[in-house]
Amino acid sequence: MKFEIIKADNYEEMSRIAAEKVISKITEKPNAILGLATGSTPEGLYKLLIEDHQKHYTSYRYVKTVNLDEYVGLDKDDKNSYFTFMREKLFNHIDVDLNNTNIPDGTAANMEEEAARYEKYIDEIGGVDLQILGIGHNGHIGFNEPGTSFKSTTHLIKLAEKTREANARFFNSMDEVPTEAITMGIQSIMDSKEIILLVSGASKAEALKNLVYGEITEDFPASVLRLHNKVTIIADQDALQLI
Protein backbone atom coordinates (compact mmCIF):
# COMPACT_ATOMS: atom_id res chain seq x y z
CA MET A 1 0.00 0.00 0.00
CA LYS A 2 1.35 3.39 -0.99
CA PHE A 3 -0.40 5.60 1.49
CA GLU A 4 0.46 6.41 5.04
CA ILE A 5 -2.11 6.17 7.84
CA ILE A 6 -1.60 8.39 10.86
CA LYS A 7 -3.58 7.29 13.90
CA ALA A 8 -4.96 10.08 16.03
CA ASP A 9 -6.57 9.55 19.43
CA ASN A 10 -9.51 11.80 18.69
CA TYR A 11 -10.91 14.55 16.47
CA GLU A 12 -8.79 17.25 18.13
CA GLU A 13 -5.57 15.34 17.56
CA MET A 14 -6.54 14.56 13.95
CA SER A 15 -7.13 18.27 13.36
CA ARG A 16 -3.86 19.25 15.02
CA ILE A 17 -1.77 16.86 12.93
CA ALA A 18 -3.46 18.11 9.77
CA ALA A 19 -2.92 21.74 10.76
CA GLU A 20 0.80 21.11 11.32
CA LYS A 21 1.06 19.64 7.82
CA VAL A 22 -0.77 22.53 6.17
CA ILE A 23 1.28 25.12 8.07
CA SER A 24 4.55 23.42 7.18
CA LYS A 25 3.51 23.34 3.50
CA ILE A 26 2.83 27.09 3.54
CA THR A 27 6.07 27.78 5.38
CA GLU A 28 8.00 25.80 2.78
CA LYS A 29 6.02 27.27 -0.15
CA PRO A 30 4.36 30.61 0.70
CA ASN A 31 2.53 30.67 -2.64
CA ALA A 32 1.17 27.13 -2.29
CA ILE A 33 -2.07 26.16 -3.99
CA LEU A 34 -4.31 24.64 -1.33
CA GLY A 35 -7.22 22.40 -2.22
CA LEU A 36 -9.92 22.82 0.42
CA ALA A 37 -12.93 20.85 1.52
CA THR A 38 -16.14 21.68 3.37
CA GLY A 39 -18.19 19.56 5.77
CA SER A 40 -17.85 18.93 9.49
CA THR A 41 -14.57 17.05 9.27
CA PRO A 42 -12.17 19.91 8.34
CA GLU A 43 -13.75 22.48 10.68
CA GLY A 44 -11.30 21.71 13.50
CA LEU A 45 -8.38 22.04 11.09
CA TYR A 46 -9.62 25.47 9.95
CA LYS A 47 -10.03 26.64 13.57
CA LEU A 48 -6.42 25.69 14.27
CA LEU A 49 -5.18 27.45 11.12
CA ILE A 50 -6.95 30.62 12.29
CA GLU A 51 -5.45 30.28 15.78
CA ASP A 52 -2.00 29.77 14.32
CA HIS A 53 -2.42 32.76 11.99
CA GLN A 54 -3.35 34.94 14.97
CA LYS A 55 -0.59 33.66 17.25
CA HIS A 56 2.27 32.99 14.86
CA TYR A 57 1.31 35.20 11.91
CA THR A 58 1.55 32.41 9.34
CA SER A 59 0.61 34.30 6.20
CA TYR A 60 -1.71 33.27 3.37
CA ARG A 61 -1.02 36.44 1.41
CA TYR A 62 0.44 34.53 -1.55
CA VAL A 63 -1.63 31.37 -1.16
CA LYS A 64 -4.33 30.45 -3.66
CA THR A 65 -7.16 28.13 -2.71
CA VAL A 66 -9.46 25.97 -4.79
CA ASN A 67 -12.44 24.29 -3.18
CA LEU A 68 -13.70 20.90 -4.19
CA ASP A 69 -17.35 21.59 -4.74
CA GLU A 70 -20.48 23.68 -4.37
CA TYR A 71 -24.21 23.03 -4.29
CA VAL A 72 -26.11 23.95 -7.42
CA GLY A 73 -28.92 26.45 -6.99
CA LEU A 74 -28.00 28.06 -3.67
CA ASP A 75 -27.15 31.77 -3.75
CA LYS A 76 -23.55 32.46 -2.81
CA ASP A 77 -24.68 34.16 0.39
CA ASP A 78 -27.12 31.40 1.31
CA LYS A 79 -26.19 30.17 4.80
CA ASN A 80 -25.66 26.67 3.42
CA SER A 81 -23.55 27.53 0.40
CA TYR A 82 -19.94 26.41 0.55
CA PHE A 83 -19.01 29.96 -0.43
CA THR A 84 -20.49 31.11 2.91
CA PHE A 85 -19.00 28.15 4.78
CA MET A 86 -15.47 28.92 3.62
CA ARG A 87 -15.72 32.62 4.41
CA GLU A 88 -17.14 32.00 7.87
CA LYS A 89 -14.95 29.08 8.84
CA LEU A 90 -11.65 30.25 7.38
CA PHE A 91 -11.23 33.00 4.79
CA ASN A 92 -12.59 35.91 6.86
CA HIS A 93 -10.15 35.12 9.66
CA ILE A 94 -6.83 34.80 7.82
CA ASP A 95 -4.99 37.16 5.46
CA VAL A 96 -5.79 35.29 2.24
CA ASP A 97 -6.76 37.59 -0.65
CA LEU A 98 -10.39 36.70 -1.38
CA ASN A 99 -9.58 37.14 -5.08
CA ASN A 100 -7.27 34.16 -4.71
CA THR A 101 -9.97 31.92 -3.25
CA ASN A 102 -11.93 29.81 -5.70
CA ILE A 103 -15.09 27.77 -5.43
CA PRO A 104 -17.08 26.43 -8.38
CA ASP A 105 -20.04 28.72 -9.07
CA GLY A 106 -23.22 26.83 -8.24
CA THR A 107 -25.31 29.65 -9.70
CA ALA A 108 -23.65 29.71 -13.13
CA ALA A 109 -26.12 29.77 -16.03
CA ASN A 110 -24.15 27.17 -17.92
CA MET A 111 -22.67 24.46 -15.69
CA GLU A 112 -20.62 22.86 -18.45
CA GLU A 113 -18.89 26.15 -19.17
CA GLU A 114 -18.37 26.77 -15.46
CA ALA A 115 -16.86 23.30 -15.02
CA ALA A 116 -14.50 23.83 -17.97
CA ARG A 117 -13.52 27.28 -16.66
CA TYR A 118 -12.74 25.88 -13.20
CA GLU A 119 -10.69 23.00 -14.53
CA LYS A 120 -8.73 25.33 -16.83
CA TYR A 121 -8.06 27.74 -13.96
CA ILE A 122 -6.62 24.97 -11.77
CA ASP A 123 -4.41 23.95 -14.64
CA GLU A 124 -3.26 27.51 -15.32
CA ILE A 125 -2.19 28.13 -11.74
CA GLY A 126 -0.09 24.98 -11.84
CA GLY A 127 -2.30 22.46 -10.07
CA VAL A 128 -3.03 21.80 -6.42
CA ASP A 129 -0.01 21.36 -4.13
CA LEU A 130 -1.93 19.99 -1.15
CA GLN A 131 -5.53 18.80 -1.27
CA ILE A 132 -7.57 18.36 1.92
CA LEU A 133 -10.25 15.70 1.55
CA GLY A 134 -13.05 14.19 3.59
CA ILE A 135 -14.89 11.00 2.73
CA GLY A 136 -18.64 10.38 2.47
CA HIS A 137 -20.28 7.33 4.01
CA ASN A 138 -20.71 6.01 0.47
CA GLY A 139 -17.07 6.64 -0.39
CA HIS A 140 -17.56 9.90 -2.24
CA ILE A 141 -14.67 12.35 -2.45
CA GLY A 142 -15.65 15.89 -3.29
CA PHE A 143 -19.18 15.22 -4.49
CA ASN A 144 -18.06 12.40 -6.77
CA GLU A 145 -20.73 9.87 -5.97
CA PRO A 146 -20.39 6.10 -6.57
CA GLY A 147 -20.25 5.35 -10.29
CA THR A 148 -18.34 8.52 -11.21
CA SER A 149 -15.57 7.87 -13.72
CA PHE A 150 -12.04 7.88 -12.37
CA LYS A 151 -11.23 10.02 -15.44
CA SER A 152 -13.77 12.73 -14.57
CA THR A 153 -12.78 16.39 -14.41
CA THR A 154 -14.93 19.15 -12.86
CA HIS A 155 -18.56 18.33 -13.58
CA LEU A 156 -22.18 18.60 -12.58
CA ILE A 157 -23.39 15.71 -10.42
CA LYS A 158 -26.72 14.51 -9.09
CA LEU A 159 -26.32 14.02 -5.35
CA ALA A 160 -26.90 10.54 -3.95
CA GLU A 161 -29.87 10.29 -1.58
CA LYS A 162 -27.46 9.13 1.14
CA THR A 163 -25.47 12.33 0.70
CA ARG A 164 -28.59 14.50 0.79
CA GLU A 165 -29.70 12.71 3.98
CA ALA A 166 -26.26 13.13 5.58
CA ASN A 167 -26.29 16.86 4.81
CA ALA A 168 -29.96 17.44 5.71
CA ARG A 169 -28.85 18.33 9.25
CA PHE A 170 -27.93 21.81 8.00
CA PHE A 171 -31.27 22.51 6.29
CA ASN A 172 -34.79 23.03 7.63
CA SER A 173 -36.16 20.06 5.72
CA MET A 174 -35.11 17.40 3.21
CA ASP A 175 -36.89 19.36 0.45
CA GLU A 176 -34.45 22.22 0.86
CA VAL A 177 -31.36 20.05 0.36
CA PRO A 178 -30.06 20.66 -3.16
CA THR A 179 -30.26 17.74 -5.58
CA GLU A 180 -27.20 18.67 -7.63
CA ALA A 181 -23.69 19.96 -7.13
CA ILE A 182 -20.69 20.99 -9.18
CA THR A 183 -17.55 19.16 -8.12
CA MET A 184 -13.93 18.76 -9.07
CA GLY A 185 -13.69 15.37 -10.73
CA ILE A 186 -11.81 12.31 -9.57
CA GLN A 187 -9.04 12.95 -12.11
CA SER A 188 -8.84 16.58 -10.94
CA ILE A 189 -8.37 15.37 -7.35
CA MET A 190 -5.85 12.71 -8.37
CA ASP A 191 -3.80 15.40 -10.17
CA SER A 192 -3.05 17.06 -6.80
CA LYS A 193 0.59 16.68 -5.86
CA GLU A 194 -0.27 15.64 -2.33
CA ILE A 195 -3.48 14.65 -0.56
CA ILE A 196 -4.48 14.61 3.10
CA LEU A 197 -7.64 12.64 3.83
CA LEU A 198 -9.29 13.31 7.18
CA VAL A 199 -11.58 10.68 8.66
CA SER A 200 -13.32 11.01 12.00
CA GLY A 201 -15.99 9.13 13.91
CA ALA A 202 -17.49 5.66 14.09
CA SER A 203 -19.93 6.42 11.27
CA LYS A 204 -16.98 6.58 8.86
CA ALA A 205 -15.33 3.32 10.03
CA GLU A 206 -16.93 1.16 7.34
CA ALA A 207 -15.99 3.65 4.61
CA LEU A 208 -12.39 3.75 5.83
CA LYS A 209 -12.24 -0.05 5.91
CA ASN A 210 -13.50 -0.18 2.32
CA LEU A 211 -10.96 2.37 1.25
CA VAL A 212 -8.07 0.47 2.81
CA TYR A 213 -9.04 -3.13 2.07
CA GLY A 214 -11.76 -3.04 -0.58
CA GLU A 215 -11.58 -3.31 -4.32
CA ILE A 216 -10.37 -0.30 -6.31
CA THR A 217 -13.58 0.49 -8.12
CA GLU A 218 -15.63 3.42 -9.41
CA ASP A 219 -18.43 2.10 -7.20
CA PHE A 220 -16.40 3.31 -4.23
CA PRO A 221 -14.75 6.53 -5.44
CA ALA A 222 -12.30 6.98 -2.54
CA SER A 223 -10.68 3.66 -3.42
CA VAL A 224 -8.92 5.50 -6.27
CA LEU A 225 -6.69 7.14 -3.66
CA ARG A 226 -4.77 3.88 -3.40
CA LEU A 227 -3.41 4.70 -6.88
CA HIS A 228 -2.04 8.11 -5.82
CA ASN A 229 1.58 8.32 -4.80
CA LYS A 230 1.32 10.77 -1.91
CA VAL A 231 -1.73 10.32 0.27
CA THR A 232 -1.72 10.70 4.03
CA ILE A 233 -4.79 9.49 5.87
CA ILE A 234 -5.22 11.05 9.28
CA ALA A 235 -7.96 9.23 11.15
CA ASP A 236 -9.17 9.10 14.73
CA GLN A 237 -9.62 5.94 16.78
CA ASP A 238 -13.36 5.75 16.22
CA ALA A 239 -12.90 5.81 12.45
CA LEU A 240 -10.06 3.28 12.68
CA GLN A 241 -11.98 0.66 14.67
CA LEU A 242 -12.36 -1.73 11.71
CA ILE A 243 -8.78 -1.42 10.48
Residues 84-143 that bind ligand PGA (CB under 6 A): 134-136, 140
Residues 68, 87: Cα–Cα separation, whole Å: 15
Indicate if 145 belongs to the active site. Answer: yes
- Which window, 37-45, 89-97, 117-125, 180-188, contacts ligand PGA (CB under 6 A)? 37-45
The interface mask with ligand PGA, positions 140-169, x = CB under 6 A, is: x-----------------------------
Nearest distance, CB of residue 141 and ligand PGA, angstroms: 7
Active-site annotation holds for 172: no
Binding window for ligand PGA (CB under 6 A); candidates: 35-43, 56-64, 95-103, 189-197: 35-43
Cα(42)–Cα(17) distance, integer angstroms? 12
Residue 143 zone, left/alpha/beta (φ > 0; ψ -120 to 50; rest) = alpha
Cα–chain-centroid distance for residue 212?
Answer: 19
Using CB under 6 A, count the residues that bind ligand PGA: 7
Non-local CB neighbours of 178 within 8 Å, separated by 6+ positions? 71, 72, 73, 74, 106, 159, 164
Residue 39 as a binder of ligand PGA (CB under 6 A): the answer is yes
Which residues does 169 contact at the CB level (< 8 Å), separation at least 6? none
Question: Which positions lie near ligand PGA, rule CB under 6 A?
Answer: 39-41, 134-136, 140
